[in-house]
Structure 1
Amino acid sequence: MNANVTKLRPSGTAQTNGQVLYYEVHGQGPSLVLVMGIGYDSSLWTLAQVPSLSTQFRVVLVDNRDAGRSSKASHPYSIADMADDLAGLLDALGIQRTHLLGLSMGGMIAVEFALRHAGRLDRLVLAGTGAAPARNAVDPIQIWSWVKANDATGKVFGGQQLASLFSTAFLRNHEAVQDTTALLASNPNPMSPEAYGRQADAYLHFDALSRLGAITAPTLVVVGEQDLITPPWIAREVADAIPGARFEVIRGDGSSHVVPIERPDDFNRLVSEFLTE
């Protein structure tokens, strides 16, 4: 178990792997790094995960390269590069070992971290995570990347995101949709089409399925029953390939790709119980 109790600044930046990464630290306890998916920054974790998990863990948020307040890349990169970004951030913060929780593409980054930096990982949580989008002839991220680059108003891209990431129950709640749309539109650090395209290329070239058997960290794979982007069978494929991994499906209303946001109580309980076993 992570026993690192070094006091860290509540927020700042760290130079790592040719990038400048923005980070925040919340709470005290064993370290838990949260890694967000494609196109978004770490602020989404503050909606429901930080208030809950920071009561037990030292929660470290990070904006991936090309997202939020981190630096913008000047050339193409891979998911492995982003995993090495995390390792460099841990070095800069003096964190030797950590738990790691990744959502969607953040889970892919976490998988690569588990493979490339196994000695620095305590426990691994993968939410809505696939391991082999490169094997798909067609992937939604291809379409989103094209729309992002060609949708001047952003309305079509935003509509696609809401319809694909959230549940039907959410989409029928007009007030929730309006509030969420306003929240996303108010982000002071929106992602450019070029940055999104670079993240999309890294996502679409990712294939770790045949390497998952080398992961040694205790692993929890969580997926929403109604996840359209990473349906349960894909998450099950990941769990089955990781030795000893636990597989959990959150069912019913709100069990979407963004289940940490729509079903935070159930999601946070699974994460907390797994990490404190």
Structure 2
Amino acid sequence: MSYFYNKNLKLHYDVLGSGKPLVLIAGITCDNNHWSLMKSELSKSFQLIMPDNRGVGKSDTPECNYTVADMAADIVALLDNLNLDKVSILGHSMGGAIAQYLACYYPERVEKLIISHSFIKFRASSIMFCQHEYLLAELNASPEIRATAILPFIYSDDFIGNGANVQALINAIATTKSKQSLDSYKQQIYAISEFNSMDYIQKIKAETLVIAGEFDKLAPFQDSQEIVNKLDNAKLKIMAGAHVPMWETPEQYANLITAFLSRSVVVVEQHISQYPNPIIVNAGDVVITGREDSEWIGWVFCTNIQSNVSGWVPQQIISVLTVERGIILEDYSAVELNVLPEQQVSIERELNGWAWCCDGEQRGWLPLEKLKIAKD
């Protein structure tokens, strides 16, 4: 549990994973548990920095109204606290508004930008939805009433057409203690109501991916198209589902994000794995360590004591216990991709002459010498 300060506000954040830094900015009412179904997958490729916006989760609530600009300044203070000059940003819904402001007014801090299920100006009908949700909370409405009123606006028909999904959400509403006060919710409604980037959004120069939901009612895909039309270096991806892909389709959402942020390369030589039963280890596992690879420096031949499966493990994730024993520091899979020449893949991580790649459906290791930078 980590905290930083922006002026007199104490603000909470979590960090997970290693790799290039990616800041995840959640939407209205949401703390950083917003990312709970996809953070494990994303953290395999990136260092995730997940703040609680002011007024939600474990962060302080100001005594007066605040704006999207204020929340963007919180993110800059967080980057300063972590000594990070430049990061990629993913903002969802209200978080997308914060991300726009960051990219416009702090362009030197933004590497790549993802604006997800967001808008240039929040629609009047969407503001009314938030006000309605606020009133239900103020009236202490039952979980069933709140679910009936809220879910059709943020989930797709396919998702809420499944009774098990609806019951799970009702149970979550009933058992989860609110992490935002009514005053704070009112302040966030004010911030999102006042936001309008029409006069400055064209200042965004960072490479940008804009993501929309096909059936999103709060931020219809036309709002995302409007954003793309204003930018010189942006592309639009419309996903199946509605407003919350991190809950409806977390795996597909994570794959889309990873593909955009990763380096695209082309296979120049066929690669077929010679290890049909690759070693897989988890953080904390003890392995028997053997010889070091003479061709690929930095790889150690290990045997997983629990599974008795052997294979090559990067030296960087092994903490030496004894001469022939080591403990694994992070989850690792030695799976290799089978690829053909001219096939395009995305590099998510490079290590000791190899790259952890995604071909759009599967992930695995490939030798860097069999890859070249893809041309747009």
TM-score, length-scaled by structure 1: 0.89
Residues of 1 paired with 2:87 and 2:16: CA distance? 14
Superposition deviation, residue 22 in structure 1: 0.8
Q: Match for 2:199: what amino acid? A: S
8 Å Cα contact 1:219-1:246 kept in structure 2: yes
Q: Match for 1:272: what amino acid? A: T
Q: Which moved more, 1:143-152 or 1:108-117?
A: 143-152
8 Å Cα contact 1:69-1:189 kept in structure 2: no
Q: Which moved more, 1:263-272 or 1:61-70?
A: 263-272
Q: Which moved more, 1:165-174 or 1:182-191?
A: 182-191
Aligned to 2:84: 95
Structure 1 gaps, min length 5: 1-10
**2:201 corresponds to 1:215:** no
Residues of 2 paired with 1:61 and 1:181: CA distance? 26
Alpha-carbon spacing, 1:185–1:59, altered in 2? closer, same or farther (3 Å): farther
Aligned to 1:24: 14
Superposition deviation, residue 160 in structure 1: 2.6
Superposition deviation, residue 141 in structure 1: 2.2
Residues 122-201 of structure 1 mapped to structure 2, 5 A cutoff: 122-133=111-122, 136=123, 138-149=124-135, 150-153=138-141, 155=143, 156-201=145-190
8 Å Cα contact 1:32-1:58 kept in structure 2: yes
Q: Which moved more, 1:144-153 or 1:224-233?
A: 144-153
**2:257 corresponds to 1:271:** yes
Superposition deviation, residue 195 in structure 1: 0.9
Superposition deviation, residue 39 in structure 1: 0.9
Residues of 2 paired with 1:70 and 1:186: CA distance? 21
Quote the sequence identity (%): 28
Query: Is the strand fraction higher in 1 or 2?
Result: 2
8 Å Cα contact 2:37-2:246 kept in structure 1: no
**2:246 corresponds to 1:260:** yes
Alpha-carbon spacing, 1:190–1:119, altered in 2? closer, same or farther (3 Å): same
**Structure 1 vs Structure 2 CA RMSD:** 1.6
Residue 53 (structure 1) aligned to one of 42, 52, 62 = 42
Structure 2 counterpart SS, 1:161: helix
Superposition deviation, residue 152 in structure 1: 2.3
8 Å Cα contact 1:148-1:154 kept in structure 2: no
Q: Match for 2:158: what amino acid? A: A
Structure 2 gaps, min length 5: 264-376
Residue 39 (structure 1) aligned to one of 29, 50, 74 = 29
Residues of 1 paired with 2:171 and 2:8: CA distance? 33
**2:226 corresponds to 1:237:** yes
Q: Match for 1:148: what amino acid? A: Y
* Structure showing greater relative contact order (alpha-carbon pairs closer than 8 Å, 6 or more residues apart): 1
